[in-house]
Amino acid sequence: MKLLVVIAHYCGGSPQTNGTGAYYGSAGARLPRLAALSEQIVTLHRNFGPSHVPVRPGQAPSTADSLDIVVVTVEGHNVLDRLDLAPGAFEAVLFDGPPMTLPFEAQRILRERVGQYDFYGMLEDDLILLDPAHFEKLRWFVETFSERCLLQPHRCEVSKTGTPAKFIIDPDLGERHGRFVHEGQATHLSGDWHGRRIDFIAPSNPHSGGYFVTDAQLRHWIAQPWFYDRDPSWVGPLESAATLSVTRTFEVYKPVDAQASFLEIEHYGARWANLFEPGDAVYGDALLLKLLQSVAEGEGGTEDLRALAHRGLYEVVLRENDQLRAQMNSRSRMFRHWLSLLLAKAMRAG
């Protein structure tokens, strides 16, 4: 399989909104944006690049598959210089325009490269494609229901700490989605995926933060008058670039919620899960990221990532050392610590 993925990436500078008060990316929060983009690119290569099939020492990766990643970004407002990735892992394209319209540029890049790949797509810079069968499922869907149908994944957030949970973050839009349902479009589809019945629905919210189309679908889309028209009229420019044009072109479906895991994509972090889910539950990021973020915020966020990691570990060691010194300077604390060690050893022996 030959795959082209265009990633719209922006970080830093003054906060940019989509008209609803939602920020594009993390504004000045560079570490989460760096972690998300790094994981996104590495996971794409691991699951869909030439090296997705393990090789033994001395063997070369298969040439049957190819993956090209283009990161379109704004000069001075990205984390590309911090990515510790092999040369050639991605190509950078600079855009001199409003950051909120960055994802529209993916359509221009796809049009320039039509005819060279099996699948073409755009992703926002915080979406992680974890399913190695993702494109196998997309191909099956098209072959089963026709090229006029487009299958979109559910965007989910997965808590790394706090309360373990998974959330579909795109809310139900109800009747507002009616403008995207094509005349004569079936509201439900069902198909057999390797002996398993999968049900699909024309969703109330077609947004997934990106899209993937086949070569035939891309050619059909390019022929439409609204291709690359940069129309920002649905919610805002970010959402429109990812959803409006493709939904006007294709009959969009998603798996029913009960089978959401059939086709899903991870939205990095747990920001929306904490916003949408009421109650006392807390959904958090990875502990290491939390540690680095706290250190970065304490120092203004200007230190090198490796230095931050080393310093964070150093502070942990210092705290452990201080606790040990306090125990050594207190006979009662030292005795209790010594006693707990003896009890633990006795329990293991028993």
Long-range pairs for 231-234: beta carbons < 8 A, 24 or more residues apart: 232/100, 232/101
pLDDT value for 22: 40
The amino acid present at 350, given as its one-letter code, is G
Range in 17-21, 147-151, 250-254 with the lowest mean pLDDT = 17-21
Reply yes or no on whether the pLDDT at 26 is more than 50: no
Who has greater pLDDT, 72 or 350? 72
Query: Quick one: residue 56, left, alpha or beta (phi over 0 = left, psi -120 to 50 = alpha)?
Result: beta
Q: Which two tokens stand for residue 212?
A: 């993937």
Pick the more confident residue, 233 or 179: 233
Mean pLDDT for 319-323 is: 54
- Beta strands of the chain (E only): which ranges? 2-9, 66-73, 91-94, 119-124, 127-128, 149-151, 154-158, 161-162, 166-168, 188-193, 196-201, 210-214, 251-255, 264-267, 283-284
Is the per-residue pLDDT at 330 higher than 90? Answer: no
Give the pair of three-digit tokens for residue 313: 């570990």
Split at pLDDT 50, 70, 90, the class of 151 is: very high
State the Cα torsion 333-334-336-338 to the nearest 10°: 160
The tens digit of pLDDT for each residue in 45-70 reads: 999 998 777 777 877 777 678 999 99
Asked whether 146 and 186 are in contact (CB, 8 A), the reply is no
- Residue corresponding to tokens 């304490």: 298
**Is the model more confident about 207 or about 270?**
207
Pair 188, 199: CB distance under 8 Å: yes
Q: Where do the domains of the chain lie?
A: 2-292, 311-349
Query: β-strand 166-168 against 91-94: which pairing, if any?
Result: unpaired
Tell me if residue 323 falls in helix, strand or coil. Answer: helix
Cβ pair 264, 223 in contact under 8 A: no
Residue type, 183: E
Report the range of poorest mean pLDDT among 23-32, 88-97, 166-175, 277-286: 23-32
Residue of higher predicted confidence among 174 and 307? 174
Q: What is the pLDDT of residues 86-137, one digit of tens each?
A: 989 999 999 999 999 999 999 999 999 999 999 999 999 999 999 999 999 9
pLDDT at 271: 82
Model pLDDT, residue 112 = 98
Query: Residue 151 class from Cβ within 10 Å (0-12 exposed, 13-18 middle, 19+ buried)?
Result: buried
The pLDDT assigned to 343 comes to 64
Q: Assess whether pLDDT exceeds 50 at residue 21.
A: no
pLDDT digits (tens, 9 = 90+) for 251-279: 999 999 999 999 999 999 888 887 776 57
User: Is the model's pLDDT at 250 over the cut of 70?
Assistant: yes
Parallel, antiparallel, or unpaired for β 119-124 and 91-94? unpaired
Given a cut of 90, whether residue 14 has pLDDT beyond it is: no
According to DSSP, the residues that pair with 68 across neighbouring strands are 4
Task: Classify 184 as helix, strand or coil.
Answer: coil
pLDDT mean over 302-323: 48
Averaged pLDDT of the chain: 83
CATH for the stretch 2-292: 3.90.550
What confidence score (pLDDT) does residue 272 get? Answer: 81
Span between the terminal Cα atoms of the chain, in Å? 58
The structure's pTM equals: 0.80
Count of beta carbons in the 10 Å neighbourhood of residue 342: 9
Cα-based distances in Å from 41 to 183, 336, 339: 38, 50, 50
User: What's the helix, strand, coil split of the chain in %, to 5?
Assistant: 40, 20, 40
- Please report the pLDDT score of residue 314 as a whole number: 46
Question: Is residue 342 helix, strand or coil?
Answer: helix
Contact 31, 293 (CB under 8 A): yes
The secondary structure of residue 17, as a DSSP letter, is B
On whether the CB atoms of residues 212 and 138 are closer than 8 A, the answer is yes
pLDDT of residue 27: 46
In DSSP terms, 127 is beta-bridged to 267
**Rg (alpha carbons) of the chain, rounded to whole number:** 24
Q: Please, which pLDDT band fits residue 176 given cuts at 50, 70 and 90?
A: low
Of 81 and 296, more confident? 81
* Alpha carbon distance 243, 231 (integer Å): 11
